[in-house]
Structure 1
Amino acid sequence: MSLIIRSLSYTHPDNEQLFNNLSLNIASGDKAALVGINGVGKSTLLKMLAGAMQPGSGEIITPEKPWYIPQHLGEYDRYTVGRALGIDQKLKALQAILAGDPDPQHFTDLDDDWEIEQKVSQALKKWGLEHLSTDQLLGGLSGGQKTKIFLASIDLHQPELILLDEPSNHLDTQTRSKLYQLIEQSKATILVVSHDRALLNLMNKTLELSKKGIEVYGGNFEFYQQQKLEKVNALHAQLNEQAKTLKQTEKKARDVAYQRQKQEQRGKSAGQSNSLPRIIAGGLKSKSERSTAKVLDAQNEKITGLQEHMQETRSQIQQYQVLKINITASEMHHGKLLIDAQAINFGYTLPLLQQTISFQLRSGERMQVEGANGSGKSTLLKVVTGELQPMQGNYSSSDFSYLYLDQDYAMIKADLSIYEQIQEYNSIGLQEHEIRALLVHSQFDAAAFDRKCAGLSGGEKMKLALCCLSVSNLKPDLLILDEPTNNLDLKSLEVLTAAIKNYEGTLLVISHDAYFISEIGINSHLNLS
């Protein structure tokens, strides 16, 4: 099933224009990724395509209503599992018929789907939800469980057009694999918003949404990255050519200026001699000077134009460059034993693990904690930080400093402004103008320094957190990351990945993002499942 967008525009109630004249054609069977920085309008566009929001103008053409799974599922907390699956009316009709109610409406609602209960059971089992009742409310379920229920609805209904907004955000590694398999095997037309690069690599089209519109790349995420790299290389080559031309033009301008100076000197000499009448000598001098001045003005105008073009090229290159923010590691020698855990188990009221675990963590090590959702990964981090004591086994740790970054970047205080937040960590004594320069370098708008941190996106919080670390004297012995890639756009992900990759200290990380894990130099694994 195809999806066509014609001249779509949308303006926020505060008169900020989000889209203007967007047009796009997604062919039947295409699997397309919609990418772009946070705040550019990816989720808003998906809502419009799903019919959950109305555009200001333009047209959306699709033969039937898309099957839409939004990013935030809290609005469905009062739904039952059956209603979220879209089969509650069928189940009620089947139960009424089996109870002997002959009302024709029940048969209409059931639509000859006599095996609906078995289908629901199979769909829930596939996603590890066989313990759930169709009468259960979504409000008491985790984010991952809610997402899996909506993914199970795809198996039940087999829609021809699917819209997915960050579908892998709350999923563990095992469930992500099932999602990838669903997408690979589906014959439907799929449009997905995601920062999950493994998922993006399953797409055959990448659509980049920006303030300029939508640019279509005819391949997956790796193809998209390669195309962007080629663009950057072309821009660098263009900048080099512009620099050469500028150098030649500046030389020519200097030569013309020197020629003019010599003409002026010759003119003075001619004027002082008696070989030519004064009026003729003056006329020749004036004509020659005007000609040289005209050439010089043209060269200077060309120089100004070249400088402007070079500045524009540099700005374009900067858009593609990854912001570099360094996290300083401690000077602790590698190999020191930081944690020694032997046959431990932990929890709040009852032990979480089915069997005890043993592990050691030494300085310089980069360890990933693995396991399904609910297996105790985040709880283990509380043991490591000393917030929780093991219930069983022997646990010892040396004296070490740590820095904890979670998916919500809790070190950022909602009631502070951007400037106040970074000032709180400014233990190296940067002056106000230096802090402001750092924030501008970190891609914060200078006009927004007084903006409250409560309104920051995930990517902005991450960049601000890294800025705070860069102006502090904090040199953590251990960096702890708990799902740090959630809520980040692709550009912010690149910033975080580069910072963690260059961090030379000890690392303990929980992440289901296989692409992120592959890039940050993990050298040991602890599996809790």
Structure 2
Amino acid sequence: MFVIQNLTYIHPDKETLFSNLSFSLSKFQKAALIGNNGTGKSTLLQLIAGKLPPSSGEVPTNGTIFFVPQLYGQFDSQTVAEVLGVSEKLNAYYAILSGKDDLTNFTILDDDWEVEERCLRALTHWGLTNVALTGFLSNLSGGEKVKVFLAAAWLSRPELLLMDEPSNHLDAIGKELLYRFIGEMNCTMLIVSHDRQLLNLFDSMVELSKAGITTFNGNYDHYKEQKESAHLALLNKIAGQEKEIRKAKDKERDTLERQQRADARGKKKQEKAGVARIMMNTLRNNAENSTSKLRSVHTERMEGLQQELTEMRTARPAGSTMRFGFAENALKHPGKALIEITELNLHIEDRDLWTAPLTFRLNMGERVAIQGANGSGKTTFAQMILGNFVATSGKIQRYPHNPFYIDQDYNLLDNRLSVYEQAQMVNDGAFLEHEVKTKLDQFLFSAECWSKQCGMLSGGERMRLALCCLTLHKATPDLLILDEPTNNLDIQNIEILTRAMQEYTGTLLVITHDQHFLRALHITRVVTL
């Protein structure tokens, strides 16, 4: 068992990321670490892997640990053999084969004469047949770098395997290999991922939040059912609290009105009875004090009810109150052609991008997925549809339409502008200043975020700002093209994006390997390059 006790991490700038975290992983348990961006999932993995020192607390030191990171740029100067952990042994093997029979080489090799064959077999398993053991990681694509680390994990057979977003750069074939690998590895695992198909392979969810850490038994679908039940219960509780507040207000009004009527009747009786003025003043003061006490009691009760309601509303998942308001007229003429492509190809570096020219028609109202292996030209295809690349052969006929393109980095945003300036820059719908700010607030950008530069936003924030910009346009686009939109998002922000695309009624063209996302969008056709 791997036990983490009272773990605290404080950033160098003195900000506490989390404190006193405690949880355990039993032998052979396969757990997914989930939570919103900024809660510290990647940092927690690095602490367990020994890549970062904790500010306080204990991390497991027993057993072998292997860590598959999310970012690979820091490893570009390493060779494939170094990542696989066999460079010294492999160098000794090559030295012996070249005739250098120094005893040191034999000691290093330690009779492991199959070291090269074993490594090549691991690389081949991950589809890296053309990758040399002596080659540098800097020469590999993002997906190939991930596969090298997965091959290293496959070779090392650790007792605890830690993986941070391992499916991010993998194509469909690579993902299938990863899913099979997870099922076959007989070790304890802790993984960070937003890939819901992958998360459903794990037997428990470890949720990290600002409140601490909570473990849920079962896969991701089961976890979602539990969270949705809790969310529904919270919404019912909020509705009940709002009803209670309305009843309390009605009761306060009725009570005060009864008190005032009673005071008025009492005053008339006193006047008829000829009560002395000094006694009248005393009775009036008593009545006013009684009314004041009633008001105070009701005010105190109302403040308590309002405070409880505020706390419950704060507990709602971020984005649950977001409204996109996409115009229904985005779907103007169902079935009408938007794009017609005939025998299209692009010549690059003495070869055609596609072995067979492309013929394709996109109709209004379709929801089409563009799929294919890494390097098959999916993004290039999207750019040609938009008119940003000119084909070297074939023909593209574009019928009048209003397209909108969102890539995985949300480059439609100007990194030099503030959040508010970006929103105003795209505001061709003549929204007033307070309306723009209201929309920003709806997309979870509070007043303190308005001056933040777009270049400083996280992936999820960039996505939300891009969607906000979309709602500020005068006309809803009748064609949306999404290019790997979920790659840099956590699950919460993927769900926000999914909900927005489900509301959108126009034509949708999506490039993604995320099958769960595609199913949620109700794709009508899949085109494979």
1:471-482 correspondence runs (5 A): 471-482=472-483
Q: For the Cα contact (< 8 Å) 1:340–1:395, is it kept in 2?
A: yes
Deviation at 1:276, TM superposition (A): 8.3
Q: What is the one-letter code of the residue matched to 1:503?
A: Y
* Aligned twin of 2:336: 336
Q: Distance in 2 between matches of 1:363 and 1:320?
A: 29
Deviates more, 1:263-272 or 1:406-415: 263-272
Deviation at 1:112, TM superposition (A): 3.8
Distance 1:154 1:433, change over 3 A: same
Q: Distance in 1 between matches of 2:220 and 2:392?
A: 45
* Aligned twin of 2:166: 167
TM-score by length of 1: 0.92
Deviation per residue, 1:133-189 (Å, 9 max, x gap): 101111121101101111111111111111111111111011101101111222211
Q: What is the one-letter code of the residue matched to 2:335?
A: G
Deviation at 1:67, TM superposition (A): 0.8
Q: How many residues align?
A: 527
1:270-349 correspondence runs (5 A): 270-274=269-273, 294=293, 296-317=295-316, 319=318, 321=320, 323-328=322-327, 330=330, 332-349=332-349
* Aligned twin of 2:245: 246
Q: For the Cα contact (< 8 Å) 1:256–1:292, is it kept in 2?
A: no
* Aligned twin of 2:127: 128
Q: For the Cα contact (< 8 Å) 1:324–1:495, is it kept in 2?
A: no
* Aligned twin of 1:513: 514
Q: Distance in 2 between matches of 1:286 and 1:470?
A: 58
Q: For the Cα contact (< 8 Å) 1:267–1:281, is it kept in 2?
A: no
Q: For the Cα contact (< 8 Å) 1:8–1:21, is it kept in 2?
A: yes
Distance 1:341 1:274, change over 3 A: closer
Deviation per residue, 1:399-443 (Å, 9 max, x gap): 443221111111111111111111110111222222222111111
For structure 2, the residue ranges without an aligned partner over 5 or more in a row are none
- Verify: 1:361 aligned to 2:362, yes or no: yes
Q: For the Cα contact (< 8 Å) 2:341–2:359, is it kept in 1?
A: yes
Deviation at 1:223, TM superposition (A): 1.4
1:44-193 correspondence runs (5 A): 44-193=43-192
Question: Could you say what secondary structure the match of 2:148 adopts?
Answer: helix
Deviation at 1:119, TM superposition (A): 1.3
Q: Distance in 1 between matches of 2:415 and 2:287?
A: 69
* Aligned twin of 1:265: 264
Distance 1:383 1:243, change over 3 A: closer
Q: Distance in 2 between matches of 1:323 and 1:107?
A: 66
* Aligned twin of 1:457: 458
TM-score by length of 2: 0.92
- Verify: 1:203 aligned to 2:202, yes or no: yes
Deviation at 1:131, TM superposition (A): 0.9
Deviation at 1:116, TM superposition (A): 1.6
Question: Could you say what secondary structure the match of 1:206 adopts?
Answer: strand
Question: Could you say what secondary structure the match of 2:335 adopts?
Answer: coil
Q: Distance in 1 between matches of 2:131 and 2:72?
A: 17
Deviates more, 1:58-67 or 1:411-420: 58-67
Question: Could you say what secondary structure the match of 1:319 adopts?
Answer: coil
Q: Distance in 1 between matches of 2:454 and 2:288?
A: 62
- Verify: 1:214 aligned to 2:229, yes or no: no
Deviation per residue, 1:264-311 (Å, 9 max, x gap): 234424533559899999888877876675455333321221122122
Q: For the Cα contact (< 8 Å) 2:331–2:507, is it kept in 1?
A: no
Deviation per residue, 1:347-369 (Å, 9 max, x gap): 42321223333322222222111
Q: For the Cα contact (< 8 Å) 2:318–2:444, is it kept in 1?
A: no
Q: What is the one-letter code of the residue matched to 1:417?
A: S
Q: Distance in 1 between matches of 2:466 and 2:163?
A: 29
* Aligned twin of 1:381: 382
Q: What is the one-letter code of the residue matched to 2:333?
A: H
Question: Could you say what secondary structure the match of 2:70 adopts?
Answer: coil
Q: What is the one-letter code of the residue matched to 1:354?
A: T
Deviation at 1:392, TM superposition (A): 4.0
Deviates more, 1:272-281 or 1:323-332: 272-281
Deviation at 1:197, TM superposition (A): 1.0
Distance 1:277 1:406, change over 3 A: closer
* Aligned twin of 1:441: 442
Q: Distance in 2 between matches of 1:272 and 1:337?
A: 87
Question: Could you say what secondary structure the match of 2:201 adopts?
Answer: coil
Deviation per residue, 1:27-46 (Å, 9 max, x gap): 22121111222222211111
Q: What is the one-letter code of the residue matched to 1:340?
A: E
* Aligned twin of 1:232: 231
Question: Could you say what secondary structure the match of 1:404 adopts?
Answer: strand
Q: Distance in 2 between matches of 1:386 and 1:279?
A: 91
Deviation per residue, 1:460-502 (Å, 9 max, x gap): 1111111111112254332211111110111111111111222
Distance 1:62 1:320, change over 3 A: farther
Distance 1:419 1:267, change over 3 A: same
* Aligned twin of 1:429: 430
Q: What is the one-letter code of the residue matched to 2:242?
A: A
Q: Distance in 2 between matches of 1:522 and 1:57?
A: 49
Question: Could you say what secondary structure the match of 2:4 adopts?
Answer: strand
Distance 1:277 1:465, change over 3 A: closer
Deviates more, 1:335-344 or 1:421-430: 335-344
